[in-house]
Amino acid sequence: MRTYLELLRLPRVAAALTGSLVGRLHESMLSFAVILLISPVHGYAGSGAVLAAAGIGQSVGAPLWGRRADRSGHARVLLVTAAAQAVALLVLSRVQGEVLPAVLAGAVVGFVTPPLTPAVRAAVPRLVPAARSSAAYALESTLQELVFVAGPLVAGAVAARAGAATAFVVAAGCTLVGTVVYVLAVQGLPAGGPGSAVAQGRGRVGLGAAVPVLVGGGAFLVVLCLQSLAVVQRVSGGGALPSASWFLAATSVGSLVGGLVIGPRLAAGAPPAPRMGILAAGVVPLVIGASLPDPAGAVVLAVGSFLFGTTIAPAATTLFDRLSRTVPAGRSTEAFGWMGAAMGAGGVIGDGGGGWLLDRAGPVPVLVVAALVAGLVSVVLPRTLAVDAPEEPAAAV
């Protein structure tokens, strides 16, 4: 905590992180709100199709907006896309459970997602000293879990009181407010910094070297999407219930705890592959909970959701840190945009395939597939996802 508090006292850091978190609240609200809006009428396959469309749109848009932000500056791109996404979310709120209009609106929502995530991660080397960059990525990943704690709860509470459509309106407001706060916080930030890849002599490395870690990022999202859908279906049955948000929040609280405990201790440049193996092991309690009858099953599922969550932030931190050490600083926003595209593709596979499999086989096979995906990455790609020894000392975990 001392490490994190020192980072938050640095100029701009607290304001930039706060704005980016509020601006990204739609990410966790959207998934649950779509499930609440679509699944009662068209099942999990219907809601999975809408979420898959949003993932496809984000996969296409993320690297494009990231490249444009690197060339034209972050502020203009962020503000334009935030306004466009707010409009698209309002349109999505009016589809009244119809799949085809929702799929089209979801694709637009994904495509115009403001590149806040790649922007803030690309800005880390300019916000903090080089020796603290790994801790800063851990802090950002940990705080992002507040988004996934609050998002499902906010969406569930709003849906319970005012209907699922209203959750999209709230998400649109968060996107606009958070983006404006972030832009104001980083206004005038220098273009380079001591922690950048160029400053460390790695400016010759292109984006091709980042492919293995992008594969890891895509697999990471497949696992998270499968887990979320399976837990909601296990708790709710055929149609999603707002009460399922508490189990999703338990996962995010676990990730928050995992980030707080493990994040500051991760070695700079730690390999992501072992963390993917731990992520796979974290699915096992969920399989057990989903297999047991209630009330024991619900209790084990809640505890398992928390335990699984503790494995998320360490895996994400090592993926982001590895990516930042692979690409040149002048293309860092674009690189993190490609990471967003890879994760969006993982979301398409996880949401689309998971929704289809849920309607046919139930939550246990879906969770088994999630564990196999994470385990496969940890076994097949350990060398390509490894990284050279860090240049600055850090305590390894």
Residue 181 or residue 32, greater confidence: 181
pLDDT at 397 over 60: no
The pLDDT score that the predictor gives to residue 199 is 37
The pLDDT score that the predictor gives to residue 328 is 63
Query: Among the ranges 172-181, 309-318, 379-388, which has the highest mean pLDDT value?
Result: 172-181
CA distance 79 to 76: 5
CA distance 42 to 154: 23
Examine residue 274 and say whether the peptide bond preceding it is cis (omega within 30 degrees of 0).
no
Q: Is the backbone of residue 389 left (phi > 0), alpha (psi -120 to 50) or beta?
A: beta
Give pTM, 2 decimals: 0.66
The mean per-residue pLDDT over the stretch 273-283 comes to 85
Tokens 């490490």 belong to residue: 3
CA distances from 97 to 28, 208, 227 (A): 19, 41, 24
The mean per-residue pLDDT over the stretch 368-389 comes to 72
CB atoms within 10 A of CB 191: 9
Tell me whether residue 11 is exposed, middle or buried, using C-beta atoms within 10 angstroms of its C-beta: 0 to 12, 13 to 18, 19 or more: exposed
The pLDDT score that the predictor gives to residue 202 is 40
The pLDDT score that the predictor gives to residue 321 is 74
- DSSP string computed for 255-286: HHHHHHHHGGGSPTT--SHHHHHHHHHHHHHH
DSSP 8-state assignment for residue 97: T
CB atoms within 10 A of CB 397: 14
**At 201, is the pLDDT very low, low, confident or very high (cuts 50, 70, 90)?**
very low
The pLDDT score that the predictor gives to residue 197 is 39
The mean per-residue pLDDT over the stretch 348-376 comes to 86
The pLDDT score that the predictor gives to residue 190 is 57
The pLDDT score that the predictor gives to residue 341 is 80
Cα 73 to chain centroid distance, Å, stands at: 23
Contact 110, 56 (CB under 8 A): yes
pLDDT at 144 over 80: no
The pLDDT score that the predictor gives to residue 387 is 45
End-to-end CA distance of the chain: 16
CA distances from 56 to 104, 109, 199, 347 (A): 11, 10, 34, 8
pLDDT at 388 over 50: no
Contact 378, 273 (CB under 8 A): yes
**At 334, is the pLDDT very low, low, confident or very high (cuts 50, 70, 90)?**
confident
Give 235-261 pLDDT, tens digit per residue: 777 665 666 777 877 887 888 787 777
Q: Enter the tokens of residue 389.
A: 């020894």
Q: Which residues contact 240 (CB under 8 A, 6 or more apart)?
A: 32, 35, 36, 39, 40, 44, 47, 232, 233
| 380 phi, psi to nearest 5 deg | -80, -35
Q: Which residues contact 146 (CB under 8 A, 6 or more apart)?
A: 21, 252, 256
**At 269, is the pLDDT very low, low, confident or very high (cuts 50, 70, 90)?**
low
What angle separates helix 312-324 from helix 245-262, to the nearest 10 degrees? 60
Q: Enter the tokens of residue 343.
A: 């994760």
The mean per-residue pLDDT over the stretch 4-15 comes to 81
**At 391, is the pLDDT very low, low, confident or very high (cuts 50, 70, 90)?**
very low
**At 265, is the pLDDT very low, low, confident or very high (cuts 50, 70, 90)?**
low
Set out the domains of the chain in order of their start, with CATH numbers: 14-380 (1.20.1250.20)
